Structure 1
Amino acid sequence: MRDSMSNDKRRSLITYNHITYFLYVISYFTAGLLWIVPIVMNYAKRHDASGSWLATHFDWQIKTFWYSIVWFVIGIILITFALGGFGVSVLADSGNIAIGSILLAGLGLLIMTFTFIWHLYRIIRGWIALTDGRPVP
């Protein structure tokens, strides 16, 4: 990848990326309230990094955000359906529906847990690569 940007601009974008990675990590301690801030920041400066190794970090964070949202929502939907099925099983006095609902809720929780770990892994891996001055795959 050809990199023809000035050193000042490169340093500025590196600092900017450090801030966005930091905000992603901090968002875990704010119940996700800060999660939207770094994605907006990434979209705002993404074009400034095009053609450089820093562009991979913007893309990495954007993809991490959207894939995490999609999988987390899938987990929430599964848990919601499971809780509805569990309510029906109580009203219908059906043990089979209750077991299926518990398994479905477990699957939803497993997906959400995996998504949480995957998201954290991607943020840490990207931040380490940025610190080392390397692009991310």
Structure 2
Amino acid sequence: MNEVYDTTPSAERVANLKQLTMIVYVLYAVGIFTGTLTSIVAIIINYVKREDTQGTIYASHFTWQIRTFWWSLLWFIVGWATFWMLGLGFLVWAADGIWVIYRIVKGFLNWSDGKPMPVPV
């Protein structure tokens, strides 16, 4: 049996995804000040709801958020390693923090303007 599904996102679905995308940006922003717990919640939401965003501008936002999380985690680990080995980890952490803030702000501004994120293919 061949079932055909309408893949066109409804206005209600798009509105829900817009709100969820904003919530995830807020969770990441709060994570900067409170530690990793809200960021872990955010990345879980990103992966659980990622498929639902396909075909909308919010798919690019979810990809942006996921990449921000993993690259930030990588640089946090590099900062930790260099802090203990070379004493330079604080600078790595500071650069990572500034980069994450930039990514959250840029993402939120594009979200607010209804624009997708410039995610490379």
Which residue pairs with 2:111 in the alignment? 130
Larger Rg: 1
TM-score (normalizing by structure 2): 0.87
- 1:41-99 Cα offsets, whole Å, 9 max, x none, are 01110000112211000000000000000011001011122xxxxxxxxxxxxxxxxxx
> What is the count of residue pairs matched by the alignment?
112
2:25 to 21, 24, 29: 21
Which residue pairs with 2:13 in the alignment? 9
Query: Which consecutive segments of 4 or more residues in structure 1 shift more than 3 A?
Result: none
Identity of aligned residues (%): 39
Partners of 1:50 and 1:42 in 2: CA distance:
12
SS at match of 2:33: coil
Which residue pairs with 1:32 in the alignment? 36
TM-score (normalizing by structure 1): 0.77
Partners of 1:40 and 1:59 in 2: CA distance:
13
Partners of 2:35 and 2:65 in 1: CA distance:
19
- The CA RMSD measured in Å over matched residues stands at 1.3
Partners of 1:72 and 1:29 in 2: CA distance:
15
Runs of 5+ unmatched residues, structure 1: 82-103
User: 1:67-82 alignment to 2 at 5 Å?
Assistant: 67-81=71-85
Which residue pairs with 1:49 in the alignment? 53
Runs of 5+ unmatched residues, structure 2: 1-6
1:121 maps onto 2:117 in alignment:
no
